């Protein structure tokens, strides 16, 4: 949006990257904190393994799935 408005300079871009990095880290920490509060202590390792596995799987499967969705949803001429 900033680029479309013509206000995206290198300084703003670096600030946006920094804010995004901090928010991502806080979000990840929040997910694992929530998991630790919801599961009994004996299940923490298994819960962390499931979350990490889902994250890895989505990293591998997500882009090809998005590509297939784009091809399928592309308007026909």
Return the domain boundaries, the chain.
1-38, 43-77
Mean model confidence pLDDT for the chain:
90
DSSP 4-58: HHT---HHHHHHHHHHHHHHHHHHHHHHHHHHHHHS-GGGHHHHHHHHHHHHHHH
Query: pLDDT per residue over 42-64, tens digit each?
Result: 999 999 999 999 999 999 999 99
* pTM reported for the whole predicted model: 0.60
């Amino acid at each position: 949006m900033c680029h479309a408005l013509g206000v995206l300079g290198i300084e703003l871009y670096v600030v946006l990257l920094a804010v995004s990095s901090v928010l991502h880290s806080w979000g990840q920490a929040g997910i694992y904190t929530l998991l630790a509060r919801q599961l009994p202590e004996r299940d923490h390792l298994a819960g962390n393994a499931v979350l990490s596995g889902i994250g890895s799987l989505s990293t591998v499967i997500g882009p090809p799935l998005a590509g297939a969705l784009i091809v399928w949803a592309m308007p026909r001429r």
